[in-house]
Chain A
Amino acid sequence: DGGITQSPKYLFRKEGQNVTLSCEQNLNHDAMYWYRQDPGQGLRLIYYSQIVNDFQKGDIAEGYSVSREKKESFPLTVTSAQKNPTAFYLCASSILTPSNQPQHFGDGTRLSIL
């Protein structure tokens, strides 16, 4: 089945450690997105990418990095510079044309601090 796969489902980070969250899609979508969700709140955009080897910062990019080497993959690294990384991380993808098409989401990765 086509969809978006995020792994792992749960992840624990030690102080000073970088961790990478995986996001893979087989929907042949051009655009991919990373969001962060804190308890009781809506989603906030971290980074997005509309084409391979190109990406843009969202509202809360500080302490995060991404890469887009392949169309189907958009990994997110939570660096040690992110001082409050505990959150639910969601990856999404969409087609770009027509521009009104919805984003579709994976089931998320829950990151916690040890």
Chain B
Amino acid sequence: DAKTTQPTSMDCAEGRAANLPCNHSTISGNEYVYWYRQIHSQGPQYIIHGLKNNETNEMASLIITEDRKSSTLILPHATLRDTAVYYCIVRVDSNYQLIWGAGTKLIIKP
């Protein structure tokens, strides 16, 4: 079973910040949180990952709560091309396996 919980779908207006929440209340101390997105009929694209500190790269920011039980992916200025399914994943460290849930379908509206 997936170790994360995400809303099924979200909308965001073009140009605004998209904030995607994820709950991972059973996360262990050494497990990282990864975010990927998948545009229809393509392979997943890696976005960002983190352990306990907030992270930022050219695509997004990742905010992890102090207790590590939840996180938020922030796309600062959403465009129509950001419409995709976004997956929040906690990795099982013993065998590098990623446990995937059904993700959040993010729709960016003009």
Interface, chain A (partner B; CB < 8 A)? 4, 6, 31, 35, 40-45, 48, 50, 56, 58, 88, 90, 92, 94, 96, 99-100, 102-108, 110
A43: nearest chain-B partner, CB-CB: B100
When each residue 17-57 of chain B gets 1 if its CB lies under 8 Å from chain A and 0 otherwise, what string results?
00000000000000010100000011111100101000000
Q: Which 4 A-B pairs have the closest CB atoms?
A: A42-B100, A105-B43, A43-B100, A102-B46
In the assembled complex, which residues on chain A have CB atoms less than 8 Å from the CB atom of B41?
88, 108, 110
Bound state CA distance, A43 and B93, in angstroms? 17
Complex contact A42–B43 (CB within 8 A): no
Contact of B102 among A42, A94, A110 (CB under 8 A): A42
* CB of B47, distance to nearest CB on chain A (Å): 9
Contact of A48 among B91, B95, B100 (CB under 8 A): B95
In the assembled complex, which residues on chain B have CB atoms less than 8 Å from the CB atom of A44?
100
A90: nearest chain-B partner, CB-CB: B43
In the assembled complex, which residues on chain B have CB atoms less than 8 Å from the CB atom of A4?
43
A50-B96, A103-B96, A108-B43 given; 6 more Cβ-contact pairs under 8 Å:
A35-B100, A48-B96, A56-B95, A58-B97, A105-B46, A108-B42
